[in-house]
Amino acid sequence: GFFQMSGYSEEELRTVFGNSFLAVIHPEDRDQTEALIRGNLDTENPLELKYRIITKDGRVVWMLNRATLCADEAGGAYYQCVCVDITRLKQLEQSLASKAQLDQLTGLYNRETARMLIREFFGDASSRYGNHAFFMLDMDGFKKHNDTYGHVEGDRLLCRVAGILRATFRGTDVI
């Protein structure tokens, strides 16, 4: 599984990477993965790892690696692994997480996420952030507009306002 997913051959792993699969693990995941492996060496517990690899053709692939520590005939330790490509699953998880945080109509943070981020910001603002401000917008007459022109037109208005807010504020601001 690993060689097919990575695009590397056993020979390339041996000669190019010094027989260490850690070299193809995404740099952001490498230290944590190595620490988990090293921490498991003294146990006989199976190990389950999730990490990204960079394939031979440069793609990033999420991998689930279930490993069992084994001993060879000379008494040396090695892991016997089953690797599964979980890239699509990770993409779906990320999509669901994003949908859970964003209003589907406007693409802005939903009420609960905005509240959480604002609480977090003001709770940490004095130590981490410089000057800060809180701005609240009330769309006077929106209910009347919605009742007069219908919900489809009300949705369009909300989307236009959301677009103006996104264009006006920084990407790091909570809108």
- Collapse the DSSP code of 8 into the 3-class scheme (helix H, G, I; strand E, B; otherwise coil) and give the result: coil
d(CA 92, CA 85): 13
Cβ count within 10 A of residue 79: 17
Q: Chain centroid to CA 63: how far?
A: 14
Show contacts of 73-78: CB within 8 Å, 24+ apart. Answer: 77/41
pLDDT at residue number 87: 94
pLDDT at residue number 111: 85
pLDDT at residue number 126: 56
Phi and psi, residue 34, nearest 5° = -65, -40
pLDDT at residue number 168: 92
pLDDT tens-place values along the chain, 175 residues long: 788 888 888 888 888 877 778 889 999 999 999 999 888 878 878 899 999 999 999 999 999 999 888 888 888 877 788 899 999 999 999 888 878 888 889 988 888 888 888 877 777 655 555 667 777 788 888 889 889 999 999 999 999 999 999 899 887 788 8
Sequence-ordered list of residues with C-beta below 8 angstroms from that of 3, at least 6 positions apart, any chain: 9, 10, 13
Tell me if 8 sits within 8 A of 56, measured CB to CB. yes
Cβ count within 10 A of residue 41: 10
**What's the DSSP call for residue 110?**
P
Smallest CA-to-CA distance from 13 within 5, 60, 37 is with 5
Sequence-ordered list of residues with C-beta below 8 angstroms from that of 33, at least 6 positions apart, any chain: 22, 25, 49, 51
pLDDT at residue number 128: 59
